[in-house]
Amino acid sequence: MNCPHAAAQAAARNGGTVVIDPMVQDLDGETTRLRDAGPLARIELLGVPAWALTRHADARQLLLDPRLVKDLDAWGLWQSGEVTHAWPLIGMIDAGRSMFTVDGDEHRRLRTKTSQALTPRRLEAIRPDIEKFTEELLDALAEGGRDGAVVDLKAVFAQPLPMRVVGMLMGVDPAENAMLTRQYKAFFSMLTPQDERLALLADLDVFYAGLVREKTAQPTDDLTSALILADEGGEPLTEEEVVGNLKAMVAAGHETTIGLILNAVRALLAHPDQLRMVLDGEVSWETVIEETLRWDTPTTHLLMRFATEDIQVGDGVIAKGEGVVISYRVIGRDPEQHGPDADAFDITRATPIRHMTFGHGPHICPGAALSRVEAGIALPALFGRFPELRLAMPDADIRKLPVMTQNDMEAFPVLLNA
Nearer to ligand STR, 17 or 112 (CB): 112
- Nearest residue (CB) to ligand STR, 134 versus 245: 245
Task: Name which of 278 and 325 has its Cβ closer to ligand STR.
Answer: 325
Round to whole Å and give the CA distance between 269 and 382: 13
Cβ at position 75, least distance to ligand STR in Å: 15
- Nearest residue (CB) to ligand STR, 30 versus 255: 255
Helices (H) and strands (E) in the chain, counts: 18, 11
For the bound state, the minimum distance from the C-beta of residue 399 to ligand STR, rounded and expressed in Å, comes to 20
Calpha distance 26→104 (Å, rounded): 37
User: Using CA atoms, how far apart are residues 416 and 153, in angstroms rounded to an integer?
Assistant: 10
Least Å from the CB of residue 246 to ligand STR: 9
Report the interface residues with ligand STR, using CB under 6 A. 91-92, 95, 100, 247-248, 251-252, 255-256, 299, 302, 406
Question: C-beta of 250: minimal distance to ligand STR in Å?
Answer: 8
> Would you say 248 or 404 has its CB closer to ligand STR?
248
Q: Min. distance of Cβ 364 from ligand STR in angstroms?
A: 11
Q: How many CB atoms lie within 10 A of CB 337?
A: 19
Task: Please state at what angle helix 127-144 crosses helix 160-170, rounded to 10 degrees.
Answer: 150
Please list the alpha-helical segments (H only) found in 55-193.
Answer: 56-62, 76-79, 104-117, 120-123, 127-144, 153, 160-170, 177-188
- Of 274 and 406, which CB lies nearer to ligand STR in the complex structure? 406
First to last CA, the chain: 51
Q: Which residues contact 68 (CB under 8 A, 6 or more apart)?
A: 62, 305, 306, 307, 308, 311, 318, 324
CB of 191 to ligand STR, least distance (A): 17
